[in-house]
Structure 1
Amino acid sequence: MTIQNKENMPVTQGVDVEDAEGHPLLELRVTDMPPVCASTKVQELDAHSISQLNHLLSLVPSSVIAGAGNAKQLMSCSFDYSNLIQAKDGSGAIGAVYKEGTNKIGAQARFHETKTLTASLNTGLLLNIASQALAQKHLADINERLKSIETQVKGIQEFLEQSRFAKIQVFQEHLQRIGTMLKNREEILPDTMNVLAKTAQELRAEVIHILRDLKKAQQQIKDFDSSCWFGSDVVRAELQGKVNRLSHLQRQYLLGMQSLLVANLILYIKNGGNKEFVYAGEDYLKELQSESGLLLQWNATTRLIKLHLSKMKPIFELSKSNQANELLVESSVAKVQQMIEQDVEHIRQLQQRIVDAQSPRIMLEVENGLVARGNYLL
């Protein structure tokens, strides 16, 4: 998190916050010039997000805020704050402690100037700041992705087996309801998240089943006999039918993957950054890109289709008719290729959003101690 200084603060000051185990949770830096490179995408925070940040930052211990403003005022004390004598006016503590069981001063606290601040603060609080800061941006993207998934479900409904479609449709409808709640900033109960996680596991099983059917469809194209004597119309229609079948299975598989990644992103954000959902997304991408995965297998299939077309040379047919049939099949393959590229890109973007959510970067402009405006750095 970067704070753009509006009160001539030195540019070298900052705060590194970590949990009790020493894991970094938050970096706070003060700068006169925003360190934004040309390739960084910038999106402005909305008013609600700014209000949230002001509230959350106000909860951070005063030592951290002081570190962002003036590190020389930070001190470490030889006693825990709770042991110090509390001032009667409630404005702080006095640098002394009572003897145990008495009202007499037993010791004076020692203070040491802090050169470098590394604060160990409440992990939950800082994860809340980090997740809330970028949550609204990612959740807005979720709604956009859900609309696309809904369109895809409607588009392939007639090609889905009834039981399989019902499960995908129910999951998609569940995501839509959660997306509406997120958009309206309504509270989402833990039970709802548990149901989402359970349903995602069930959908994952369906996706694996689709992958098995997909491999069978690939094998059918591999075993296809494209030789013919009296015309290529029948051969072309049969081959195109197998390509269409493969295409629909691939779309089902990629649709399932997108739905799972949307669920992972929601669960990651709403469950305080649970790494389980990060690892799951990484496994999905590995499966997609593996030697037996959809991408490499589709590339192999396209080469097989070209080979089949080269063998489709009927003796008793005009060459123009044969070429026309070849073009029809090639056109179908090109459309499938385009859809795969689009769907795979969406999958990679969704997984990248989970990666980005682990290390949110926000540039804030602070005026008089309050966040006035800010940008997401994507």
Structure 2
Amino acid sequence: MQRSTSVSAPFIQTSGRTTLRILGTSVTLIEPIRAQAQADLGIDLDFTVLDGVNAQLSAVTKPNAFDVYDQWFHNMEIAWTSGAIQPVEIERIAQWDLVNDLSKHGSLRPGDPIGQGDAPVRQLYVRPDSRLSWQQSDRIVALPCVHNVDAFGYNTDAIDKGMAYATESWSWLLDARYAGRVGLLADPAIGVIDAALAAQAAGLMEFGDLGNLSITEIDALVRLLIAKKKAGHFGAFWSSVDEAVAQMRSGKVVIESLWSPGVVALKAAGVPVRTAAPKEGYRAWHGCLALSARISGRARDAAYEYLNWWLSGWPGAVMARQGYYISVPEPVKRHLTAAEWEYWFLGKPAREDLANPYGQTVVRAGEARNGGSYWDRVSHIRVWNSTMDEHNYLVRRWQDFLRA
């Protein structure tokens, strides 16, 4: 693994060492990131790693307990309206011009659909009246960073390989052939979208907007899911990537909602898992870095340096080795081997074995990433992770489902 190049610290004006408290999830808050950022920036980092639901709750209820909030755009409006975060000033982001059009305009190629739901561009900019909008301004609610397109993973020893964008389908999550061996994500805001995609793909329901279900749609979907659960269809639910990995490694499930680090970990363990490229399109998410409303002075200067460090190339390369993308791909290319760049971003067959950030082999020579290149995959976004208008109602009904 290539090491990071040094990053200057123009915003830290005083001597001595400071500590930044970073609140987020295991998606990005991993030890290689913490160690290298400390070495490059000369600051200490204190990571608080929670699942998505509890990270959001902590940000809103304990705004004094973090300096940087490392989360997802679909959580930003709640954090913003609660007063937990402050705007990011674009002029202090050195590589803002390199942040790509998926973040700024909703798609990488002209004519590609943006997708339903909370696409980052729909709530990226802070207007003079403090509302969030896609109307450009000199302030943003958070810095666009790590992102990906998600679907489900399946064990190819138990389920025959499908064809990307042709036969692989979200409906498989509700297919009776896999009854008792299906896993779902427990997070209500994300799990419900996976379930809705599956129900619609199976022809069991239709939705007006997958990113913003109505009360009637939520009730109908929950009734369907409860009936499936009582019939023994779902074998497990997970709240962390480690749980998802353990469930598939044990054989408890053979198909489940699955994020890229889970796929990488399963491959490292020798489990033949494949990430689907559903013909209905992906559920996408976009991570971001926000500043606590309480941070100021030297600590805020250090936080801006941390945000800039994330766009410097090396962190994006670490994320790429987990199957993730970042909003500034070009600097990342300098920190990947040619074989890594070709596999992870261009969608080409690996010319050699490739490792994850921990040095474990996760890709064998000759393998190609299902769904193709970065540009191909993000052109198939059906819906973005979202906080729906009826979010509180959804959470209550989702708990009804999990308790049934």
Q: TM-score by structure 2 length?
A: 0.25
Name the one with the larger strand percent. 2
Name the one with the larger helix percent. 1
Q: Which structure is larger by alpha-carbon Rg, 1 or 2? A: 1
